[in-house]
Structure 1
Amino acid sequence: MTAPSTSGRTGALPSVVVLPGVYAPQHDTRLLAAAMAREDVPPGVRALDLCTGSGALAVAAARRGARVTAVDLSRRAVWNARFNALVAGRRIRVVRGDLGTGLGAERFGLVISNPPYVPAPCEVTASHGAARAWDAGTHGRSLLDRICADAPRLLSPGGLLLVVHSGLCGTDETLCRLRAAGLHAGVSERAQVPFGPVLRRRREWLCARGLLEPAAVHEELVVVRARRP
C-alpha cells in the first residue's frame, strides 16, 4: 500500500515505496501530514520524525524546507526511509534508535510522530515483525507516554510537537501529560475512519475492555498539537 502521488498538492503525502513489514501510509499518516501543512514551518527549521516507518512524513517535512532527522527502531524501516529520501532527492538523516534516546542534547523546532498506538492484549510489545508498527501495550500508550515525557527535552523554545493517535488510547491523557510537562497542548485535527484489519480482529477484546461499543465501525483519530513556551 502506498500513498498517492502529490505533485503540487499542499499537505498531501509524497508517493513512497513501502517494504514488506514496514508501516504503510494510511489515514493517520495523511491526517498528520495535513496538520503539518497548516503550520507555519520556517525554511531550515530542524525537524524530527519519530517512528518514521517508510519516511513519508520525513519527506513531506523536507519538502517544506525543514532539515529533517528521522528515527525508527526497525532496521527495515530505516533502510526504507533512506531509500525514499534518495528517490525524492531530499537530504534526510535517518537513524536507527529508540525514539529520542540517542539524540543527546539535540533540539528541534518541529517534532512529528505517528507512533504505534493500538491497544493490544499483551503488555509486552512486539520486538520484531509488522506488529511492532502498531501494537502499544494494553493501554496503547507504551510509546505515547514516553513521547509526552520527552517532548520538552526534544523541543527548542517555541518548538512544536504534532503527534497522531487513536482516541481509543486516551486523547485527554495525552493532553494532560503534555500540559503537566509544561507545554501548551490541544487537538488540532479529528477524523472518523473505518476500522482497519487490526481493530476488526480485536473488536471482541476492545469491547470487553469498554473501549468500543459493540455497534461501532469507526474509530476517531486525533492530531495533538503542543507548543513549548
Structure 2
Amino acid sequence: MLDPAGIDQLREALTSAGYTSAGISDRLGPAATAAVSRGDHRAALRATADRDPLATLIRLFVCGQSEPADVVAAALAPLPLAAAQAAGLVVPHIDGVRRGVDLEPYGDRWWVVADLPAAHTGQPLAADHVLGIGGASTTLAGATIRRPVGRALDLGTGCGVQALQLATHADSVTATDLSPRALRFAATTAALSGQRWDLRAGDLTEPVAGERFDLVVSNPPFVVGPGSISHTYRDSGRPGDAVSADLARSAPTLLTEGGVMQFLANWAHVSGEDWRERVAGWFTGTGCDVWAIQREVSDPLGYARMWLADSGERADPQRMSDWLDWFDAQAIEAVGFGVITVRHSGRADPAIRVEELRQQLADQLGPQIGAWFDRQDWLRARTLRQLLAERYVAAPGLRLRQEASIGEQGWEVDRQLLTLPAGLRWAEETDPFAVALVAGADGQLPMRDQLALLAAAYDTPEAELAEVTAAVLAHLVERGMLLPATLD
C-alpha cells in the first residue's frame, strides 16, 4: 500500500510516537484500556485530549475519531499526509481526517493493517473485505505449537496475523490467499513489521502444489453454508463443511514427515450422525495423527445471525431465511467450531481423537497440544510390558472430587472425578480401580509392582489385570493426569 520509503516513514512515525500495545495501555491506564475493549471510548478520549502524536494516533486509529488534518500530519511525520491519503491509510472528512483502515499494534514490535469492521463503518462489508485481528485469529495463534521449524505455510493469510507469529520460529514463511486485496494488506503488514514472506495468490493449497512444509497453519473461510461466495474471508465456495474436509485430506501431501498442520474448522452436526465420526472420517487413510477439539457449538439460527451481523447484513431477512432453509434441507442441527491439529506420521494405525473441550482455559492451547503429541509418542514407543515397567507420578495439582448422597448406610459415593485445575482443566469421571492406581503413583515403584498389590486387593490374577491396567494408564497419560517419571 506504500512504497518502501513510505513504509519506513510510517514505521518511524509509529515507533517514535510509542504507538504499540504497551504504549497505548500505559497512556490510557488499565480502566480506559479495558473500556476500549468493550467499545467504550469515553475515558480514552479524555486521556488523549492534548493531541500529541501518540494521543492523535490513538484517537484516530483506536477510537475512530476525525482529527484536524494538521494534527494528523504531525502525528504521521515523516510520512507525508498526502502519501498516507493516497495509500488509503487515512481519508478526508468534513471536519478533518479519519482513518481509512484498521492499523492495530500487535504486541510491541508489529502492526497489522486490515479493513475496518462493519461495526465501525455502519455499512455491509465488501465482498473482498480483509479481516483484522479477531477472536478466530487469536485462537489459532494461541493454539499453534511454537517450536523451531524450517519451512512454514500460512494458508489463507488475510492480513497476515498468523504469518507474523510463524516468522518468530520458522526459517522461512510462505503465505497464500485467494484475494489480491488480502495479499496487499499482508504485504503491508509484513513490511511495516520488518518481515519478509513469500506471498502467493490462489485458492488454499493450489499455489504450493507439490511443495512440503514443516508447519502449516490456516484460518480458512470455514463458514458452513450453501457454497456461494458473498465474502471471501468467510465463504470458500464449497458447500457445507467441505473446505475443512479438503484441508484435512491435503495434510499428507503438504507436510514433511513429522510435519504438523493446525487449522480452525467448522463442522456440521447432521441429524442421525455422530459429529465425531464425521470429523474423524476426514482423515481416513491419511496416515496422520489427529487431535480435533470442539470448543463451541451453535444452533442454526444463532450461527446465521452471528455471521450476518459480522458482515453487516443483519437487516437482510431474505439472507437469513435462505440460510436457515438450506440448514433444514441438509438436516443440520448445529455447527461445531474448533481447532484441528494433524501430524504426518505415515502410520497405518495413527492416533485419531475427536472430542469436546469446552471448559474455560487459563493457558494457551499451543503448549498443551504439543505436550499431547509428545505423550502419544511416548505411549506408542512402549509395549504393554514396558508400560507396566515404568514409574508414574500424579500431575501437579491433580485432585479427586467425590459426589455422595446420604442413604441408609450413611454417605454413599455416587460419582468420582479426577480434575486438573490448570492446563486443559480436564474433569474425568473415574472408578475405584483408577483412583487406587493414581493413589499409588508416587514415582517410587514401577507399575508392575503396584499391579501385584491391586491384583491382591481385587482378588484377580495379575495377568488378567495387566491389560486393563495398561489401558487405564494409557488414557490417564494421554490426558496428562498421570505422568511417566522419565518423561521430560
Contact 2:113–2:159, Cα closer than 8 Å, also in 1: yes
Q: Mind listing any 5+ residue stretches in structure 1 that lack a counterpart?
A: 9-13, 214-218
Deviation of 1:2 after TM superposition, in Å, equals: 6.7
When structure 1 is superposed on structure 2, of 166-175 and 110-119 the one drifting more is 166-175
1:22 and 2:130 correspond: yes
1:77 equivalent to 2:182? Answer: yes
Q: CA deviation at 1:91?
A: 1.5
SS at match of 2:263: strand
Which of the pair has more CA radius of gyration?
2
**1:7 pairs with one of 108, 121, 140:** 108
Q: 1:140 aligns with which of 241, 264, 273?
A: 241
Question: How far does residue 4 in structure 1 lie from its aligned partner after superposition?
Answer: 6.0
Residues 75 and 158 of structure 1, relative CA distance in 2, 3 Å threshold:
same
Are 1:204 and 2:324 matched, yes or no?
A: yes
Task: Decide whether the 8 Å contact of 1:163 with 1:224 is kept in 2.
Answer: yes
Give 5+ residue unaligned stretches, structure 2: 1-101, 117-128, 270-274, 346-488
Report the count of equivalent residues: 210
Name the CA distance, whole Å, in 1 between partners of 2:171 and 2:283: 24
Q: Which moved more, 1:196-205 or 1:91-100?
A: 196-205
Q: Which of 338, 341, 364 is the equivalent residue of 1:222?
A: 338
Matched residue, 1:108: 213
Matches within 5 A, 1:117-196: 117-121=222-226, 123=227, 125-126=228-229, 131-136=231-236, 137-141=238-242, 143-168=243-268, 172-188=277-293, 190-191=295-296, 196=306
**Residues 102 and 204 (structure 1), Cα distance of their counterparts in 2 relative to 1, 3 Å cut:** closer
Cα RMSD between the aligned structures?
Answer: 2.9
Preserved CA contact (<8 Å) 1:3 1:26? no
Instruction: Call closer, same or farther: CA 1:171–1:2 in 2, change over 3 Å.
Output: farther
Deviation of the 1:191 alpha carbon? 4.7
Match of 2:152 among 39, 47, 55: 47
Percent identity over the alignment? 27
TM (norm. structure 2) is 0.39
Q: Which one is further off, 167-176 or 183-192?
A: 167-176
Structure with more helix by fraction: 2
Distance 2:297 2:224 in 1: 18
TM-score, normalised to structure 1's length? Answer: 0.77
The alpha carbon displacement at 1:57 in A equals 0.7
> In structure 2, do the counterparts of structure 1 residues 192 and 146 end up closer, same or farther at CA, with 3 Å as the change threshold?
closer
- What SS is found at the alignment partner of 1:118? coil
Residues 1:204 and 1:177: Cα distance change in structure 2 (over 3 Å): closer
Q: Deviations over 1:117-137 (max 9, x none)?
A: 11223x3x32xxx61221244
